[in-house]
A and B are shown apart, each in its own frame.
Chain A
Amino acid sequence: MKKVLALTLALAMVMTLALSGCSVEKVDGSGDGSFVSADGSTPSGSGAQTTGNRVVNVCSWGEYLDMSLIEEFEAQTGITVNYKTTDSNETLYSLLENGGSDFDVVVPSDYMISQLIEEDWLQPLDYSKIPNFEKIADRFKNLSYDPENLYTVPYTWGTLGIIYNTTMVDEPITSWETMFSDAYAGNVILIDNPRDAIGMALYYLGYSVNTTDEAQIREAAALVSDAWSSGVYQGKTMDGIFQIMEGGNAAIGTYYAGDYLTMLENNPDLAYVIPEEGSNWFVDAMCILKDAKNVDEAHEWINFIASTDANLRNMDYIWYASPNEEALEMYPAWYEEQYGEPLDPELYEIMAAPQEVLDRCEAYLVLPQEIRTLYNDLWIELGT
């Protein structure tokens, strides 16, 4: 008996080491990432199949793709799409780092892309296979996260701003100050992600959101922390904010423009503002992982998604602005044709912020590891 036990143990150890050692290729990461995604989105594919048929494994965010595009792509090309979702850039990164994934295409945000490039996770794209890349507006090419544009094709872009319920505030919100003052104490929702939350305070204090000056970051975190301890915030959440704002359960929150437009469909009292101090603007872009196994299929998928038609439909479905110049210009007319009524120009401006608004905003750059750890520590201190 003892021998059997010892043998089994030894075998198990070897197997576990082998499994954890050789990372991405072997383990199926089905499900783990989308464990608590608040919208309850279900990935349509189930794990990786690489035998026989052509497949492409895509990982993106919840409610971030018009699913009919998958069917169309599958019908057109015969390639099966395994579409999975995670709920944040950080979750995606940890999936990659743990080797619990076998994705070909990922759609991270700008700052995570530069981290992935820095750590050699991505492979350069073959742009000759992505003719639709030409349609991407020039202002979304060669951005700081990929200065020579070797690795990425932009997917969507947007802004972070304050969402508020016009029936629950006394006057229109214009400044980040609202997020820290006790004017609406107990009625404010804090965004549950240190970069965005401490970022708000950095804009308010007039610092760069990409600062690596520890004193500035601590000052900003103290602002959030003071507001926290004086009871300004009802709670902190990411996707939970849909339910909270749509149901009129809080007056003010911070979230992304595209999601605001989704909330607005369910609660017409909501308004969105990019505060006067400026805010974050972001690009999410499609990339192919270095050890992707379905590289050709991945290129085909990216090219398909970058097409004007796909961008129009996607934009209409997820309410995030497209970087495809044609689609962006055509959208108001396309909308009118689809729904028989003109698109509210104000909503269009919220979705696709005009350049003068973007000029006030700042994109996130990747922060050095010690600053990321500082952010994390400050965030934990907030919860203690």
Chain B
Amino acid sequence: MKNRRSLLAVPYVGWMALFVIAPILIMVVYSFTTAAFDPTLANYTGMGTYTSIFLRSFQLALIATAICLLVGYPLAYVMAKEGPGFQRTATVLIMLPMWVNFLLRTYAWMAILENNGLLNQLFDLIGLFDLINGLFGTDIEFFRMIRTQGAVVLGMVYNYLPFMVLPIYSVIIKLDHSLLEAARDLGADTAGVFRRVILPLSLPGVLSGVTMVFVPSVSTFAISQLLGGGTHMLLGNLIELQFLGGAYNPHLGSAIAMVMMVIVIICMWIMNRFGEGEEQAVVL
């Protein structure tokens, strides 16, 4: 019986070995070698040059994750508390944009955020700029939205919000109602029930959500390229440049990716300590 069960795992183990473990091993080899595949540490020793890019990437990803959590948690909570009809509709509405390719949606944001884009045209139409110019004596014709760090964060939040809402929602909806009733019977008010029972029990969902938003945000290169307009280089762009830039240095690119991966793993590990004692979160 036990044997048969482990046979079932073979396709998965094979898949992981081929497409996760082997690529990581190849990356390790690349990162510790020169172009001629002689061993070297040089790819790592120069990493300090990129400190500001590392900091910026983690900072923007953290901001995006925090916003996703602040927006996503209440949404997931409300959804879980409503009737099945509302839940179905809300789930579909959250999933719906994901049926369209993520790059196409990001291009759409470019058209919305441009200096002469839809949003600025709308502001112009309702006389917002005239109002501001009249009040403050300024001379603005548009809000500068695209090609800023704010646009990058917006792109991250927009693209990854569903990954925050859905895990939290699926944890809250499965909460045992008798626990909530017991809390009330024992004298907790609504805020107390939320703070003492629901919040701790939904922590695994929060941790999953945070991971699923933070990790793609910290490594994104398309969002920063399209919405950030190249004004602020992120880690993803730095790595991309090593592979698709004029210098073509996959060894350095691998090293940067390794460092990023290690930092992300450390972050996740620290975060998981918070969830300890609760149900294990689905992390990594």
Which A residues form the contact surface with B (CB < 8 A)? 1, 4-5, 8-9, 11-13, 15-16, 20, 35-36, 40, 88, 90-91, 93-94, 97-98, 186, 190, 192, 194-195, 233-237, 240, 243-244, 247-250, 369, 372-373, 375-377, 379-380, 383-384
Interface contact A384-B229, CB-CB below 8 Å: no
Whether a CB of chain A sits under 8 angstroms from the CB of B241 is: yes
Contact status of A5 and B13, CB under 8 A, knowing A243-B110, A376-B245: yes
Contact B13 A8 (CB under 8 A): yes
What B residues does A12 contact at CB under 8 A?
14, 17-18, 21-22
Q: For residue B246, which residue of chain A has the nearest CB?
A: A372
Question: Which residue of B231, B247, B250 is within 8 Å of A373 (Cβ)?
Answer: B247
- B229–A240 touching, CB < 8 Å: yes
* B102: min CB distance to chain A, Å: 11
Asked if residues A383 and B230 are in contact (CB atoms below 8 Å), the reply is: yes
Whether a CB of chain A sits under 8 angstroms from the CB of B154 is no
Specify the chain A residue showing the minimal Cβ separation from B54: A384
Give the residue among B18, B104, B147, B249 with the most A Cβ atoms within 10 A.
Answer: B147
Closest Cβ of chain B: how far from A288's Cβ, in Å? 22
B contact face: mostly helix, strand, loop, or mixed: helix
Does any Cβ of A come within 8 Å of B62's Cβ?
A: no
- In the assembled complex, the CB of A115 is this many whole angstroms from the nearest CB of chain B, namely 10
Evaluate contact between B10 and A4: CB separation under 8 angstroms. Answer: yes
Q: Is the CB of A243 within 8 A of B247?
A: no
CB of B114 within 8 A of CB of A247, answer yes
Q: How far is the CA of A132 from the CA of B182 in the complex (A)?
A: 87
Residues of B within 8 A of A90 (CB): 244-246, 248
Binds A, one of B88-96, B189-197, B232-240: B232-240
**Contact residues in B for A97 (Cβ distance below 8 Å):** 248
**Considering only CB atoms, which chain A residue lies closest to B111 in the complex?**
A243
Q: Can you name 17 extra interface pairs (CB under 8 A) apart from A235-B147, A383-B233?
A: A1-B9, A5-B13, A16-B18, A16-B23, A36-B103, A93-B248, A94-B243, A240-B226, A243-B114, A247-B114, A249-B114, A250-B115, A373-B249, A376-B249, A379-B245, A380-B49, A383-B237
User: Of the candidates B7, B25, B107, B242, which one forms a contact with A40 in the assembled complex, judged by CB atoms under 8 Å apart?
Assistant: B107
Please state if A384 and B245 are interface contacts (CB–CB under 8 Å): no
Map CB proximity to A onto B1-43 as digits: 1 under 8 Å, 0 otherwise.
0010011011001100110011101100000000000000000
CB-defined contacts of A13 to chain B, threshold 8 Å: 17, 22, 25
Would you give the shortest CB distance from B115 to chain A, in whole angstroms? 4
Chain B residues with CB under 8 Å of A190's CB are 230
Bound-state CA distance A94–B21 (Å) is 23
The 6 residue pairs across chains A and B that have the minimum distance between CB atoms? A235-B229, A383-B233, A376-B247, A235-B147, A236-B230, A12-B17
Q: Is the pair B50, A384 in contact by a Cβ cutoff of 8 Å?
A: yes
Q: List 13 A-B contacts (CB under 8 A).
A: A4-B6, A8-B17, A16-B22, A16-B23, A35-B103, A186-B144, A240-B226, A243-B110, A244-B114, A247-B115, A375-B246, A376-B246, A380-B50
- Shortest Cβ distance from A92 into B: residue: B244
Return the contact of A247 from the options B49, B117, B231, B244 (Cβ within 8 A).
Answer: B117
- Taking CB atoms, residues of chain B closer than 8 Å to A376 are 241-242, 245-247, 249
Within 8 A of A (CB), among B194-244: 222, 225-226, 228-233, 237-238, 241-244
A236-B53 contact given A249-B114, A376-B246, CB 8 Å threshold: no
On whether the beta carbons of B14 and A8 are closer than 8 Å, the reply is: yes
Bound complex: CA A88 to CA B241 (Å): 12
Give the residue name and chain of the A residue nearest to B110 (CB). A243
> Does B52 lie at the interface of the complex (its beta carbon under 8 Å from any beta carbon of A)?
yes
Residues of A within 8 A of B14 (CB): 8, 11-12
Determine the distance from Cα of A375 to Cα of B247 in the docked complex, in whole angstroms: 8
How distant is the Cα of A20 from the Cα of B110 in the complex, in angstroms? 37
Which residue of B18, B114, B146, B238 is within 8 Å of A380 (Cβ)?
Answer: B238
Decide if A236 touches B238 in the complex (CB within 8 Å): no
Contact of B50 with A15 in the complex, beta carbons under 8 Å: no
List residues of chain B with CB within 8 A of the CB of A98.
Answer: 250
Chain A residues within an 8 Å CB radius of B87 = none
CA distance A247 to B116 in the complex (A): 7
Contact between B21 and A192, CB atoms less than 8 A apart: no
Cβ–Cβ < 8 Å partners of B107 in chain A: 40
List, in ascending order, chain B residues with CB within 8 A of A234's CB: 147, 229, 231
Q: Given the complex, which residues of B lie within 8 Å of A36, measured CB to CB? A: 103, 222, 225-226
Q: Is B246 a contact partner of A192 (Cβ separation < 8 A)?
A: no
State how many angstroms separate the Cβ of B13 from the closest Cβ of chain A. Answer: 5
Q: Give A334 to B245 CA distance when docked, in angstroms.
A: 40
Contact across chains for A384 and B241 when beta carbons are under 8 A apart: no
B225, closest chain A residue (CB): A36
The docked-state distance in angstroms from the alpha carbon of A186 to that of B146 is 12
Q: Which residues of B contact A373 (CB under 8 A)?
A: 247, 249
Q: Is the CB of B230 within 8 A of A194?
A: no
Min Cβ gap B4→A in Å is: 11
Please measure, in the bound complex, the distance between the C-alpha atom of A372 and the C-alpha atom of B245, giving whole angstroms: 9
Q: Which residue of chain B lies nearest to A87 when distances are taken between CB atoms in the complex?
A: B244
Bound complex: CA of A36 vs CA of B240, how far in Å?
A: 12
* Chain B residues closer than 8 Å to A16, beta-carbon distance: 18, 22-23, 26
Q: Which residue of B lies closest to A377 (CB)?
A: B247
Residue of B111, B147, B247 touching A372 (CB-CB under 8 A) = B247
